[in-house]
A and B are shown apart, each in its own frame.
Chain A
């Protein structure tokens, strides 16, 4: 932890687009870890504390570039991309169980940055890469002496930005998590995600146009969005060799085996035990135990939902499965 850094202990809470030139709003986090299931949950607690309400700092976006040159932070040890509702939060929680980890689970500032980059298509590639590295460096500074490994779990639609992120960190291994399409749709029918709302995702994401009939059926719209995510994952896996597809049905065991190997975690028995313990919990409500729900979701799928899954998702799913099966099994 660098005490000579004027922003030591501060993290970017959000990028304020209402500030001219875009302001980075920093909150003081000290040595507090991001251990809640989602980044915004930890952040909300930090933002509400009296200190940050009064003394939050604002800097220009350029600060990220200047600071990253001096303090590059932890190089990401693994990225988790996913199609949503497929165990990605469990993966983040298992990684957060490692005492030396910094886990950013769907960090909003990165999403905002991708949106900003999307609005400036003429921006030079070098600057785009530098901004991504600058923000990741700011989010991934070691704030405790024991912070060693940084992991980032992205939002589902960030697979559209995987190329930029993987070019910024070409040596970082990554996984893509997915699951049987019917189960994804059942989950979204029970509790609709933002992916089902037309207009919520960045315009860079190739979703159906506003006049497409599917925009009137949230689940079909979602199915089309997820089909784009799955197809983008397949092409990214072909283009960037550091990736590995992981099916939900391999979880939770694969997190301590296949994924740990892929991320080169070299787990000690104690670390493995901590990850296994985290895997026994419900990732989004850690006070509850994890219950495998694939069979229940299959039972809940009616014929309409199965038609949607077959129409939009089965082909890209099967293509990912073929890729996954081509990976060598763990010895």
Chain B
């Protein structure tokens, strides 16, 4: 996965309110990742499960560490 693929994915989801609403409602992490991978595959974006999980972990770390110097 290149950062561009994830960024493209993010941008296209943001531009599609219906898809955004559908993905936002998924509370189960595994189900969410599977749904994202399916959409990415439809769009021809090279995203892998591990990459998505790593991105989510890194995002959560940024939140937890947001006030650390």
Contacts of B41 in A (CB 8 A): none
Q: Are A16 and B66 in contact (CB under 8 A)?
A: yes
Q: A145 interface residue, CB < 8 Å from B?
A: no
Contacts of A18 in B (CB 8 A): 62
Give, as a whole number of angstroms, the nearest-CB distance from B23 to chain A: 5
A28 vs B24: C-alpha distance when bound (angstroms): 8
A53 vs B10: C-alpha distance when bound (angstroms): 11
Q: Which of A54-62, A99-107, A263-271 contacts B (4 or more CB under 8 A)?
A: A54-62
Contacts of A13 in B (CB 8 A): 63
Total contacting residues, chain B, CB less than 8 A: 24
**Chain A interface: which size bin?**
20 to 34
Q: Are A54 and B63 in contact (CB under 8 A)?
A: no
Give, as a whole number of angstroms, the nearest-CB distance from B14 to chain A: 7
Closest chain B residue to A111, Cβ basis: B67
A52 vs B56: C-alpha distance when bound (angstroms): 8
Q: Are A55 and B13 in contact (CB under 8 A)?
A: yes
Q: A49's contact among B10, B27, B55, B66, by CB below 8 Å, is which?
A: B27
Contacts of A288 in B (CB 8 A): none
Q: B33 interface residue, CB < 8 Å from A?
A: yes
Q: Are B32 and A54 in contact (CB under 8 A)?
A: yes
What sequence of 0s and 1s flags, for each residue 7-29 of chain B, a beta carbon within 8 Å of any chain A beta carbon? 00010011101001101101111
Contacts of A16 in B (CB 8 A): 62, 66
B contacts with A: majority SS = helix
Q: A57's contact among B10, B26, B32, B66, by CB below 8 Å, is which?
A: B10
Q: A53's contact among B20, B28, B56, B66, by CB below 8 Å, is which?
A: B56
Q: Are A51 and B32 in contact (CB under 8 A)?
A: yes
Q: Are B60 and A47 in contact (CB under 8 A)?
A: yes
Q: Are A51 and B59 in contact (CB under 8 A)?
A: no
Q: Are B56 and A50 in contact (CB under 8 A)?
A: yes
Q: Are B21 and A55 in contact (CB under 8 A)?
A: no
Q: Are B63 and A55 in contact (CB under 8 A)?
A: no
Give, as a whole number of angstroms, the nearest-CB distance from B2 to chain A: 16
Give, as a whole number of angstroms, the nearest-CB distance from B36 to chain A: 7
**A14-B63, A16-B62, A16-B66 given; A51·B26 CB < 8 A:** yes
Q: B55's contact among A25, A30, A54, by CB below 8 Å, is which?
A: A54
Give, as a whole number of angstroms, the nearest-CB distance from A42 to chain B: 14
Q: B14's contact among A14, A52, A53, A55, by CB below 8 Å, is which?
A: A55
What sequence of 0s and 1s flags, for each residue 65-107 of chain A, a beta carbon within 8 Å of any chain B beta carbon? 0000000000000000000000000000000000000000000
- Given contacts A50-B56, A56-B59, 12 further A-B pairs with CB under 8 A are A25-B62, A47-B63, A50-B26, A50-B28, A51-B24, A51-B32, A53-B56, A53-B60, A54-B10, A54-B36, A54-B52, A55-B14
> 14 A-B Cβ contacts within 8 A?
A3-B17, A6-B14, A13-B63, A14-B63, A25-B66, A28-B20, A47-B60, A49-B24, A50-B56, A51-B24, A51-B26, A53-B60, A54-B55, A55-B14
The 9 closest A-B pairs by CB, nearest first: A50-B32, A53-B56, A51-B24, A53-B59, A50-B29, A14-B66, A47-B63, A54-B56, A51-B23
